[in-house]
Amino acid sequence: GAGVSQSPSNKVTEKGKDVELRCDPISGHTALYWYRQSLGQGLEFLIYFQGNSAPDKSGLPSDRFSAERTGGSVSTLTIQRTQQEDSAVYLCASSLRAGGTPYEQYFGPGTRLTVT
């Protein structure tokens, strides 16, 4: 079956511009996660959505970052007024659910964001 897809695969933007990154999770997965991977750093949690519950935004680094998930499926991560330190690979993952037995998370290919 289809895996997690992300678009665009690469995005180059100028400092100060806004960007939107999209994630299509695996069909039937109720939990969706965003992570960030910077050069030489581990994966850093940003935000996750579980069904209709309020999202866990505890990992968002600043109020320039926001995310939404429409219809329990597609998610968009928005970064406003981008800064050079925002340059990283943004990874989306989905799993069957977040609570109960810990389910494995399946990752998309990522969006490489470069802020010039």
Partner 1 sequence: EDQVTQSPEALRLQEGESSSLNCSYTVSGLRGLFWYRQDPGKGPEFLFTLYSAGEEKEKERLKATLTKKESFLHITAPKPEDSATYLCAVQIDRGSTLGRLYFGRGTQLTVWP
Instruction: Select the residue interacting with partner 1 from 43, 72, 76, 87 (CB under 8 A).
Output: 43
Q: Does 52 bind partner 1 (CB under 8 A)?
A: no
Do residues 104 and 36 touch, judged by C-beta distance below 8 A? no
Q: Minimal distance in Å, beta carbon 16 to partner 1?
A: 27
Three-state secondary-structure class, residue 67: strand
Q: Are the C-beta atoms of 103 and 96 separated by less than 8 Å?
A: yes
When binding is defined by CB under 8 A, the residue of 7, 13, 22, 59 that contacts partner 1 is: 59
> How do beta strands 10-13 and 111-115 pair?
parallel
The verdict on 25 binding partner 1 (CB under 8 A) reads: no
Q: Are 26 and 3 in contact (CB under 8 A)?
A: yes
Length of the chain equals: 116
Per the DSSP assignment, residues forming a β-bridge with 34 are 47, 92
**Rounded to the nearest whole angstrom, what is the least distance from the CB of residue 109 to partner 1 in the complex?**
5
33 binding partner 1? (CB under 8 A): yes
Q: Choose which of 42, 52, 63, 71 interacts with partner 1 (CB under 8 A).
A: 42
Instruction: Give the interface with partner 1 as residue ranges (CB under 8 A).
Output: 4, 31, 33, 35, 41-43, 45, 48, 50, 56, 58-59, 91, 93, 95, 98-99, 102, 104-110
